[in-house]
Amino acid sequence: MAPTTLPKSVIDAQSKGITVLELTGDNEEKYYFQKPGTADINRFIATATKGKAAQAARNLVIEMAIAPTSEELSAEFQAQPGRMVALNSALQGAVGMNEDFATKKL
């Protein structure tokens, strides 16, 4: 299998020192995002706690998008609205928001 050529926007982001995450869907389609930082997650939480969870999720995905572009993703979400939720979950997982912990009383 030949190596995949990265989109120019991904190479440009990496050259600027941006940490890029590659997310691969069940259909093998690849998505490239900037890894969310503390400020991004704080903004996500602030929006979500105002009762706007869907907007918070969409904003995180759109703001972190490298390839496809945010415009291309917005169009894709019209046809596949659940994809936004899946991509958001993957981005949250990349920064530890979906971790499970075992708890025991001492």
Tokens standing for residue 45: 């939480």
CA 63/CA 41 separation, integer angstroms: 11
pLDDT at res. 20: 97
Residue found under tokens 């995905």: 61
Q: What is the mean pLDDT of residues 13-33?
A: 95
- Helix (H) or strand (E) segment spanning residue 55: helix 53-64
Residue 106 lies in a domain: no
pLDDT at res. 100: 86
Residue 68 lies in a domain: yes
Residue 40 lies in a domain: yes
Q: Is the pLDDT of residue 4 over 70?
A: no
CATH number of the domain residue 16 falls in: 3.30.2220.10
Parent domain of 52: 8-94
Residue 56 lies in a domain: yes
Residue 1 lies in a domain: no
Number of compact structural domains in the chain: 1
Residue 67 lies in a domain: yes
Residue 105 lies in a domain: no
Q: Is the pLDDT of residue 1 over 60?
A: no
pLDDT at res. 101: 87
